[in-house]
Amino acid sequence: MDLHLKDKVYIVTGGSKGIGESISRSIADEGGNVVIASRSKDETRDLVEEFRQKGIRSHGIIGDLQNTAVCKKVIDETVAVFGGINGIVNNAGLNDGASLEAGPEAFRRSLNVNLHHYYDLVHFALPYLKKAKGAIVNISSKVAITGQGGTSGYAAAKGAQLALTREWAAELLPYSIRVNAILPAEVMTPLYRKWLDTFPNPDAKEADIISKIPFEKRMTTSEEIAAMAVFLLSEVSSHTTGQFMIVDGGYVHLDRSLK
């Protein structure tokens, strides 16, 4: 199926590692131009070079998206290089464990890491998204609707991302800009592996988690999240907006005791 992404321009934040990398690769596979905005200098450089060697137009912008000026730079530089913007995938962030006991400053830092740049990038990109009748995909998390324990800042940010998804979908209706969210659950990424390795027996913890995933008793792959992302970016999903797409093998909505 042709998703009609060819030669269109998409920004992926945190687009050189984990879920973001898979989304960048999926866009490139569909012929789209990829702008990777990330703090990961080496990984971004290597992925952009890989794309260029394959004849895919790509661009990397290194910086900390917690800085509003960096968010503006991402938009300005993208337009300078490619001439416009067809879509944004807000993905950058991390589950930093800012718990209720961690205190107000940790909570505020977590919101800055995980939430504010979602707004900032879309704000600065809005004139170009209006012109292109573009699409926005917000990567949220199952934590937004299930909770996890010990991560108030991340949970609040992820919940806010869902609220912004619905708010922007409503506000941007007159411009035919579609806004949707994806809620991953258990996806093996470098950050997820780092979290697992904090447990005394990581293998046992991983096996326990997998045992609770109803569909095929396996984790969701980052490629499966990416497939949903490119669908939501594409014209194939031309009448889908304001939706929360949960790609998780039934982890959230099916009874986890199913055999």
- Single out the residue of 87, 85, 86, 92 nearest to residue 63, CA to CA: 92
Q: Which of 10, 118, 128, 154 is catalytic?
A: 154
Is 209 buried (19+), middle (13-18) or exposed (0-12) by CB count in 10 A? middle
Q: Residue 69, Cβ neighbours under 10 Å: how many?
A: 10
Residue-by-residue DSSP string for 2-13: --S-TT-EEEEE
- List of residues 6+ apart from 201 with CB closer than 8 A: none
Helix 222-233 / helix 18-29 crossing angle, nearest 10 deg: 50
Q: Looking at the DSSP assignment, which residues form a beta bridge with residue 38? A: 62
Answer yes or no: 10 catalytic: no
- Rounded Cα distance, 98 and 95, in Å: 8
H or E element at residue 162: helix 152-171
- Rounded Cα distance, 143 and 157, in Å: 10
Q: Which two tokens stand for residue 213?
A: 């995933």
User: Which amino acid would we find at residue 244?
Assistant: F
Q: Which two tokens stand for residue 222?
A: 């980052």
Return the active site residues: 154
